[in-house]
Structure 1
Amino acid sequence: MRKLLPLVDRSHNGGRSAMTCHYRCGDACFQEVPNKSDNTYFGDIVHEALSRRSMLRAGAVATVAAAGAAALGGAAAPAFAADEAKGAKGLKPSKPGGRPDGAKGLRFTPVEPNTTDAVVVPPGHDQNVVIRWGDPILRGAPAFDPRRQSAKAQAGQFGYNNDFLTLLPLPGEHGRQLLFANHEYTNEELMFPGYDRNDPTAEQVAIAQAAHGLSVVIVQEERRTGKLTAVPRHRLNRRLHTASEFRLTGPAAGSPLLRTSKDRTGTKVFGTLNNCAGGTTPWGTVLSGEENFNQYFANAASVTDPETKQRLARYGMTGGATSRKWERFDDRFDLTKEPNEPNRFGWVVELDPYDPDFVPRKRTALGRFKHEGAEPQLTADGRAVVYMGDDERFDYMYKFVSSKAMRKGRGRADREHNLTLLDEGTLYVAKLTGDSPAEEIDGSGKLPSDGEFDGSGQWIPLASGDRSFVPGMSADEVYVHTRIAADRVGATKMDRPEDVEPSPRTGRVYAALTNNTARGTEGRAPADEANPRNENKHGHILELAENWGDPASDGFAWRLFLVCGDPEDPSTYFAGYPKDRVSPISCPDNVTFDAYGNLWISTDGNKLGTHDGLFGVATAGDRRGEVKQFLTVPRGAETCGPIVQEDRVLVAVQHPGEISGASFEKPQSQWPDGPGRVNRPAVVSVWRRDGKRIGV
């Protein structure tokens, strides 16, 4: 078994530095947990909901009744057993005696855990930086000069802290693809010389605001390798930031809850904040989730209306001045002046990257919370299903099912139709029930007697169109205050559900639960079978199979696929695979899949004392559960936005050098440009030197 190296930074709880927590999420782990609900017993909610039968349409009643019956019966359709028995594609076990070097797609020498200040890749592989913070992508944008930055320049340059990535085809332009990246947050101490956290300048604030948002940039492939380079000033290149116009659409658009003094219609928003993971739709658009938006809004403690104050607190807004001080220069970030402004953030954004004039849309039908990502799949009849996680301790997993089916045509009418799919449908939240006796779930991570953490679950409907299924809340309130709605129907409190994605081969859904060191502490929810460790430092991966293989089902089976950490720790679990043959993994964050059905996991805040990385793990066959580390990122960095193509892997290297005590003048990493240079978040491409496919 590999021996792990000493901790890099002991100054903060978890694997993140204190600086990362301060700028990423406003020190959320040092704040009160926003979810203070007792989560009323679900049977009471079902009874109350059914008593409102006359208020609901017959279809809605049937949905609630089915969910209630499943909850009270405690048994789900045998989703896992059914698809495995019929040998569903990608699930049939491999024949014994397969190749000794790994499952197909994962045949590489694993990278050892390390603290090297570089992107470290397997032997026989090479890499290049595709694009970095400040690289010009729009016409007229100047070359990056860290000592002569301006908001105007940044608005035409690649943004800061790239997170979600996707590559899309570019018909008619040989060897080129369209790269989408979003930009989660800024770290001003690393960006600006002489930065004073207590007294930022107006220009520094404007630059930081322009470094948030979304980027579209065309990239060029180099023949015979996996190298990609950005194509500056292409007609499709685009930057969207806090001054860009976005449109609120869907059932809550125009609600009084979304109106401000500068937008009396409740339909037009300027900017997008704290974009994290996302998704790519079957109809060719990109989705991006707004996550820790709460930290940008000041003076919640001074709000006088008690109901508004309570709602703000449920989303983590309780204090005074913010760390970035944007409220000094823009009234919309002062809650005493614009208490509805934060209601216009925390949505899933949809962008058509092929249309440079497209106004991005915030889809209210998908609910408002700290969206990590949104990855769709289609039902058999063509409706879109989007899975989502709310990245907060003790918050929830969600699903949206569209009411209309996708059109496969390429005409204008088909495109316009598909751009409405995420505006009409039903929003659900997940309730998970374990199948083991309560005394067998003791918070230690010890497996129950049946050998797995598993059980059944229900998708509880919250709202559909203008109909609310939550007693005491209007539909608008459900969409805008989704957390409160989920509290009321007794959803299961999870350990920071981040990226939630369905496998394109099997339809099974995999959710990254990053960690929750508050689990089981005084006054907090104890371990349960879906979150089986108290003070959970390392996180886990949940595997979900919808009943009857139908993504629109109202019930599912679930089991824990990985329980992460040091394989020598008895509380870890790797789908039953021998623990002495896996790479250590901690704090799973983003997930994706390769062409062979393997799950790839990027980590954030590795608590094992080594750098974050990217890992591949087989989900089926005799190597199911074998975790192999593909790369590690530099000092202080996080691995984000993985893309795994047959001939290359891309990752977003976020916040390199983000270590407590670091500054513009005293960087704590030499990546990517060497000693004495400012640290720059960047996108990296990795490929095999022999030109062959990755992992085969």
Structure 2
Amino acid sequence: MNTEPEDSNPSPHPHLAEVIDASRRSALRHGVALAAAGWAAPLAAAATPSLIGFKPVPVSRADTVSVPEGYTTQVIAPWGDPVGLAGAMPAFRWDAGNSADEQAAQLGMHHDGLHFFSLDGSRSGLLVMNHEYVDPDLLFPDGRAGWNAEKVRKSQAAHGVSVIEVREQGGRWDVVRPSRHARRITASTPMAVGGPAAGHPLLRTAADPKGERILGTFNNCASGITPWGTYLTCEENFIGYFQPPPEPDAHQRRWGLRAGEQAWLGWHLHDERFDAGRHPNEPNRFGWVVEIDPFDPASTPVKRTALGRAAHEGATTVRTRDGRAVVYMGEDAANEYLYRFVSRDKIQPGGARANATLLDHGTLSVARFDADGRGRWLPLVHGQGPLTAANGFADQGEVLVKARQASDLLGATKMDRPEWTAVDHDGWVYSTLTNHSRRGTEGQPAPDAANPRARNTMGQIIRWKEDGDHDGEAFRWNHFVLAGDPAAERPEARGNIRGDAFGCPDGLWVDGRGVLWVQTDMSSSVMGRGEHAGLGNNAMLAADPASGEVRRFLVGPVGCEITGATGTPDGRTMFINIQHPGEAPGERNDPAQPRRFSNWPDQRPDGRPRSATLVIRRADGGPVGS
């Protein structure tokens, strides 16, 4: 989601990563040294053949999907189609007139992260996907007019997560309806709480005096999977759903609540728990990573507080050589941080039940990137260093609820909006830093080694590799690529891409062959304008981690974000999500003109743009991307 990012950490004081040699900083700001400096560049061209075998597609501004020659696409599971609940399969109404109860049985709006969980090899499985947010002007026939409790209920029902069953037959994929696996998880679904913050006073409310049962999840952005077969959904820009109190306290301000501002969707007008003045602890109950067992529709999702509270985007899980779980997470907000969680216990055979509390015990750390290409993980552990009661942290639960404040005190590196993470076959961990157009301006951090560009409109992909194993305290790091357009007038916007230009990297996925797939999220307010004028619509690109080569694989329709990537075990089918086609460029959509900016995917004269899942295959049946 590339709206104006939250920025609750604008303090100008330097962190350790900013204390660098003046001459090197000057070179970094202009990107001059990056192509040649070994500590900040992609690896030299490898002797092995490229992993990428397709002819790249050109930049496009069309209201369609472009893929390379020899590839086919199929649209499935658009917003409003029934998920397949037995006895509840309401059809989508083209005027957006479905009720709240009907929406609760349909796919939600604005598809984001997703994963394919196999049921029968590469022929059938479960697609689990997030629904990040809604556009009220497209969700209802008359948009925001006459805002009422029913509209709040439908808006909440269009958020969350969908589980659908899909099956391939004759080269086409279809959603199985009805399916015993089908499920909707919304902003009204009961959630359990696990980990050190479960039951904490900061999570207690009048409706939940024990702080152990939270209603709902929303603004679900990127996602992850675990080695034991569960889905991790990440609560990102949750703070915008809450109406600020008249005078927010320091904790509330640090998390983005500002006096005089209005909640994005007006839920508080008909669901008072979203009024932070009346219910100051309710925002503390969001911003967590939620674990879902997709194979058990009766299971209760669990908010895993040991992974810390943040505007979470992404939760990539790997295992250490001794069998413990490691989760890498970004926080999509300006000047926020990158996190890592290492479980205390080993992963057990037996799936979700055998590992039901694995993510409740372990150590959360925050990253510090030093100027010499080295870095360290700084543990967020109560009683260590400044994380004491004297500094406002009564216990480990409070450290986790106030992870931002704890990271501030530890001197972590403020990053340019860390979003998705991914791990390649050689153990390098990648994170997309989408942009930070205010870096280096008044009141904002100066460029530093990890975030080298002032007014960073294009973003970059940073990567690191721990010493020893994924639980190592120290790591080495470099920039895999600085995004940009070589034709840009401003040097800081040109980047150092080896191949096709792109801006604002967001989604990341490493497929079974080792290809790093990069998805972009330029805001509709900048697409086709200024420094982004030559980049067209948002796109998906394939990168070879060994050589750094980048090729444009797909371009999406007008106004959309390309997000979410997964595939079948045989690598011959890829699924991605097309989110918010027709997003208005810097303005609201007009309910009377729903097709003004896009009519993808249906192109009906009485239709409206709908987020949907795209199935991508090679016509000859070969592996996608080869």
What is the SS of the residue equivalent to 1:372?
A: strand
* Cα 1:187–1:159 shift into 2, 3 Å: same
2:403 to 482, 489, 492: 482
User: Is residue 519 of structure 2 the alignment partner of residue 602 of structure 1?
Assistant: yes
CA apart distance, 1:527:
0.6
Deviations, residues 22-46 of structure 1 (Å, cap 9, x unaligned):
xxxxx446xxx31044668669xxx
CA contact (8 A) 1:115 1:611 kept: yes
Residue in 2 that maps onto 1:649:
574
Residue 457 of structure 1, aligned match among 369, 375, 383: 375
Give the conservation status (yes or no) of the 8 Å contact 1:158–1:215: yes
Q: Which amino acid aligns with 2:376?
A: Q
Deviation at 1:568, TM superposition (A): 3.9
Distance in 2 (alpha carbons) for counterparts of 1:615 and 1:585: 8
Q: Which residue of 1 aligns with 2:545?
A: 619
Shift of residue 543 of structure 1? 1.2
- Which residue is 1:46 aligned to? none
CA distance, structure 2, for counterparts of residue 93 and residue 523 of structure 1: 40
2:131 paired with 1:193: no
Q: Which residue in 1 is equivalent to 2:26?
A: none
Name 1:422's counterpart in structure 2. 359
Task: Determine if the alignment matches structure 1 residue 555 to structure 2 residue 474.
Answer: yes
Mapped partners of 2:384, 2:301: distance in 1: 26
Q: How far apart are 1:689 and its partner, in Å?
A: 1.3
Corresponding residue number in structure 2 for 1:168: 117
Aligned AA (2:136): E
Change (3 A) 1:491 1:374: same
1:288 aligns with 233
Alpha-carbon distance, 1:113 to partner: 0.7
Q: Secondary structure at the match of 2:264?
A: coil
1:182 aligned residue (110, 122, 130): 130
Q: 2:339 aligns with which of 398, 410, 415?
A: 398
RMSD: 2.4
Choose which of 38, 47, 51 in structure 2 pairs with 1:95: 47
Report what 1:59 is aligned to. none
Write the letter of the residue equivalent to 2:476.
A
Q: Distance in 1 between matches of 2:205 and 2:213?
A: 10
- 1:75-117 per-residue CA deviation (whole Å, 9 max, x = no partner) reads xxxxx999xxxxxxxx996437x5xxxx22x211111011010
1:587 and 2:539 correspond: no
Q: Is the 8 A contact 2:5 2:332 kept in 1?
A: no
> How has the CA–CA distance of structure 1 residues 93 and 527 changed in structure 2, closer, same or farther, with 3 Å as cutoff?
closer
Shift of 1:574: 7.3
Residue 372 of structure 1 and its aligned partner are, at CA, apart by: 0.4
User: Which residue matches 2:101?
Assistant: 152
Instruction: Tell me what 1:344 maps to.
Output: 285
Runs of at least 5 residues in structure 1 that lack an aligned partner in the other structure:
1-15, 22-26, 44-79, 83-90, 304-308, 436-454
CA deviations on 1:356-407 (whole Å, 9 max, x unpaired) are 1110000000000100010100001111000011111111101000000001
Residue pair 1:388, 1:499 contacting (<8 A) in 2 also: yes
Instruction: Describe the SS at the equivalent of 1:111.
Output: coil
Work out the CA distance in 2 between the residues paired with 1:287 and 1:614: 23
Q: CA deviation at 1:222?
A: 2.5
Encode CA deviations 1:329-375: one digit per residue, 9 max, x unaligned: 11100111110001000000000000111100000000001000101
Q: 1:81 to 1:404 in 2, by over 3 A?
A: farther
Specify the alignment match of 2:9 in structure 1.
Answer: 35
Give 3-state SS (helix, strand or coil) of 1:374's partner.
strand
Q: Distance in 2 between matches of 1:298 and 1:673?
A: 36
AA at the equivalent of 2:521: D
Matches within 5 A, 1:440-451: none
1:51-66 residue pairs with structure 2 within 5 A? Answer: none
Mark the CA change 1:631 to 1:40 in structure 2 (over 3 Å): closer, same or farther: closer
Q: 2:304 aligns with which of 348, 354, 363?
A: 363
- Deviating more after overlay: 113-122 vs 469-478: 469-478
Number of residue pairs the alignment of both structures matches: 580
Equivalent residues in 2 for 1:260-275 (5 A)? 260-275=205-220
Match of 1:690 among 595, 620, 623: 620
Equivalent residue, structure 1, for 2:418: 497
Task: Sort the Cα spacing of 1:174 and 1:118 in 2 relative to 1 into closer, same or farther, 3 A.
Answer: closer
3-state DSSP class of the match of 1:239? strand
Matches of 2:581 and 2:359, distance apart in 1: 35
Question: Identity over the aligned pairs, expressed in percent?
Answer: 40
Structure 1 contact 180–214 (Cα < 8 Å) conserved? yes
The aligned counterpart of 2:254 is 314
How far the C-alpha of 1:174 sits from its partner, in A, is: 8.2
2:599 matched residue in structure 1: 670
1:222 alignment partner in structure 2? 169
8 Å Cα contact 2:537/2:557 also seen in 1: yes
1:87-166 aligned within 5 A: 94-95=46-47, 98=49, 103-104=50-51, 106-137=52-83, 138-139=85-86, 140-147=88-95, 148-166=97-115
Taking the TM superposition and a 5 Å limit, the aligned residue runs for 1:289-304 are: 289-303=234-248
Verify the 8 A CA contact 1:664 1:678 in the aligned structure 2: no
Alignment CA distance shift 1:573-1:384 (3 Å): farther
Which residue is equivalent to 1:639? 562
The structure that has the greater radius of gyration is: 1
User: Does the 8 Å CA contact 1:40/1:488 hold for their aligned counterparts?
Assistant: no
Say which is worse superposed, 34-43 or 681-690, in terms of deviation: 34-43
Seen in structure 2, the aligned counterparts of structure 1 residues 217 and 107 have a Cα distance that, compared at 3 Å, is: same
Name the aligned partner's letter for residue 286 of structure 1.
Answer: Y
Report if aligned partners of 2:487, 2:494 keep a CA contact under 8 Å in 1: no
How is 1:204-223 mapped onto 2 (pairs within 5 angstroms)? 204-223=151-170
8 A Cα contact 2:203 2:285, kept in partner:
yes
1:376-395 to 2 correspondences below 5 Å: 376-395=317-336
Supply the distance in 1 between the matched residues of 2:61 and 2:423 (Cα, whole angstroms). 32
In 1: Cα distance, 2:126 partner to 2:108 partner = 16
Match of 2:611 in 1: 681
Measure, in 2, the Cα distance between the counterparts of 1:574 and 1:547: 29
What letter corresponds to residue 505 of structure 2 in structure 1?
P
Which residue of the partner structure matches residue 34 of structure 2?
none
Separation in 2 of the partners of 1:469 and 1:216? 43
* DSSP-derived class of the 1:434 partner: coil
Q: Determine if contact 2:601/2:609 at 8 Å carries over to the other structure.
A: yes
Inter-partner Cα distance in structure 2 for 1:150 and 1:531: 46
Specify the SS of the correspondent of 2:207: coil
Where 2:209 maps in the other structure, the secondary structure is coil
* Structure 2 CA distance for partners of 1:543 and 1:162, relative to 1, 3 Å: same
Structure 1 residues 266 and 467: CA distance shift in structure 2, 3 A: farther
Q: Distance in 2 between matches of 1:146 and 1:114?
A: 28
| Counterpart code for 2:501 | P
Residue pair 2:112, 2:563 contacting (<8 A) in 1 also: yes
Amino acid across the alignment from 1:34: S
The alignment partner of 2:341 has SS state of strand
Q: 1:682 to 1:468 in 2, by over 3 A?
A: farther
> Is 1:232–2:150 an aligned residue pair?
no
Tell me, in whole angstroms, the C-alpha distance in 2 between the residues paired with 1:468 and 1:662: 50
- Cα distance in 2 for partners of 1:338, 1:117 equals 44
Contact 1:124–1:688, Cα closer than 8 Å, also in 2: yes
Q: Give 2:57's aligned amino acid.
A: V
Structure 2: segments with no counterpart, 5+ residues: 18-36
Residue number among 433, 449, 468 corresponding to 1:529 in the alignment? 449
- What TM-score results when the alignment is normalised by the length of structure 2? 0.88
